[in-house]
Structure 1
Amino acid sequence: MRTVLATDLDGTVVFEDGVHPADREALATWKRSGNILVLDTGKSVDAVRLVWHDAGMPTPDFVIAFTGSVITDGDLRPLAVTAHQQVLLDDIAALVEGEQLVLYASDIEHDYVVFSRVAQTSSIVPRAYPGDLDRLRHTELFGIPLFIPDPSVMSRVEPALRELCDGRAEVHRNQNFLDVVPPGVSKGAGLRRVLDEFAPGHGDVYSIGDSWNDLSMHEVADHPITLTDSPAQVRAQCEGSVDCAAQLIDRILKEQQ
């Protein structure tokens, strides 16, 4: 049976300067060994294409994008999608009007900036287009990310956003992002669907991810692993930690020999 590695991207294998050489080689070796590679990320399909496929990384077997709203094959062709209620974007925009943050909205292919109140940017959304709220409210959306670099703004916006979205959407925290996705959607739910529907007969499942939005993915894995500098809550719910993804991959491959 083929062993599965489900990996987060940002802060786990994709950094400000890209994918580190040791991780790049380890991931390529993982695929050459016949194992299954799943990218489980909050990024959009377009962002995955930019930081992974266009960067010459090994083609994954599956991609779980938008924190689980979209599942694709390795070539980013959709296999399963779950869209937002169309009225939700208007309500979120009204809630955070005037706050120091960036409000994005993402269709199946592109990320759009609804409005930006901060000068700071994030590599988590590597390419975004100007967005028009009048048009986007009629567009099928799969993610509504909010980039909030100021912790005081985050502490104010997060509870209000969770209250607004209660029963209507899920809110997942990822460092200085809040990712709003459709009801029932998470990295863990996406991984469970991949394992049950698209990878029958798989072997052990390892996960590696560094943030709070990875917790549901870790719950699905047989062996949840995080990074040594991850938040304490994430470390507490994993069976171990590593300094980098290459360290975990090398360990698993040695055990398979």
Structure 2
Amino acid sequence: MTRLLVTDLDATIVFNRSVSPADREAMARWRAAGNLLAIDTGKSSFATRDVFEPLGIVFDYGVVFTGAVLIDSSYQVLSARHLPDGVARDVATRTIDLPGVTTYATTIETDYILADNNDEVSPILAVFEQMPLEEMDSHRFIGVPLRVTDDALRQSLQEEITQRWEGVLDCHRNQEFLDFVPAGATKGSGLRTLLDGPLAGREVEVWTIGDSWNDLDMHAVADHAVALPWSPPEVTAVCETTVGSMAELIDMIMEGDRA
């Protein structure tokens, strides 16, 4: 049997754009023992690479853009879904002038920022290029992440935009962010694409670790779902256990092998 450990990034193993030495060592040890490691994140492949490569972190597969894109260990795209033309620009047009909202748009290659009305850079999405609204029509976008610092505004924007584009895009919440991606794209659907595609025909035991609401669909696919101490109650409720870190989880699984 193949064991696959699937991890969220931000606030699970990535904190302030870095990964602890203990977690890095544990993930390397996990792969060295013949197990598979996958990431499952709302981040783009660009943002993931920016964090991981300087730290020397290697994984086997990546579910990025909240399930819209599957990549291999070399960041090569195995499958991808885009928003229909014009949808990303419509969302950005509605948000670029709103106080407390930072509007991004992501392509396969690059993360772009359309407007920053928070006057600070979030460590979750910290590396990007500027793009004026009028240039959006010349690009194909995977998603539109919004950082919304006001709880009430975040809720209203989620309802307004998903109602306008019902059946076209979905919205996933992660901390202060709303990630608008193609309809049906979730961390769970991306994980199923991995299991039904590159890993098809193999008997796979799936472990997932993730802290937030957008991890619920990922956890639903797992044989063993694991939360973090700071996870919301809705996430903890669907997980079989809680651990303090990735390193703690890997130690727990591998010590169980020796028992």
Aligned counterparts of 1:152 and 1:193: Cα–Cα separation in 2: 34
In structure 1, the residue matched to 2:223 is: 222
Match status 1:45 vs 2:52: no
Deviation at 1:151, TM superposition (A): 2.0
Match status 1:145 vs 2:145: yes
Q: Which runs of 5+ in 1 are unaligned?
A: none
Aligned counterparts of 1:17 and 1:180: Cα–Cα separation in 2: 22
Q: Is the 8 A contact 2:17 2:51 kept in 1?
A: no
Aligned counterparts of 2:164 and 2:138: Cα–Cα separation in 1: 20
In structure 2, the residue matched to 1:96 is: 95
Q: Is the 8 A contact 1:89 1:137 kept in 2?
A: no
Q: Is the 8 A contact 1:223 1:239 kept in 2?
A: yes
In structure 1, the residue matched to 2:250 is: 249
SS for the counterpart of 2:18 is coil
SS for the counterpart of 2:55 is coil
Deviation at 1:167, TM superposition (A): 1.0
Q: Is the 8 A contact 1:44 1:106 kept in 2?
A: yes
More displaced 10-residue stretch of structure 1: 189-198 or 47-56:
47-56
Give the 5 Å matches for 1:46-195: 46-57=46-57, 59-99=58-98, 100-195=100-195
Deviation at 1:144, TM superposition (A): 0.8
Aligned counterparts of 1:202 and 1:124: Cα–Cα separation in 2: 34
Identity within the alignment, %: 38
CA displacement, residues 26-80 of structure 1 (integer Å, 9 cap, x when unaligned): 11111111101011011111101111123211x1110111011110100100000
SS for the counterpart of 1:145 is strand
Which contiguous aligned blocks of 4+ residues in structure 1 show a shift greater than 3 angstroms? none
Deviation at 1:164, TM superposition (A): 2.1
SS for the counterpart of 1:24 is helix
Deviation at 1:97, TM superposition (A): 4.3
Aligned counterparts of 2:36 and 2:70: Cα–Cα separation in 1: 15
Q: Is the 8 A contact 1:170 1:185 kept in 2?
A: yes
Q: Is the 8 A contact 1:86 1:138 kept in 2?
A: no
Deviation at 1:149, TM superposition (A): 1.9
Aligned counterparts of 2:113 and 2:54: Cα–Cα separation in 1: 22
Report the TM-score when normalising by structure 2. 0.95
Aligned counterparts of 1:144 and 1:80: Cα–Cα separation in 2: 19
Q: Which runs of 5+ in 2 are unaligned?
A: none
Deviation at 1:255, TM superposition (A): 1.9
Aligned counterparts of 2:203 and 2:38: Cα–Cα separation in 1: 12
More displaced 10-residue stretch of structure 1: 155-164 or 76-85:
155-164
Q: Is the 8 A contact 1:205 1:221 kept in 2?
A: yes
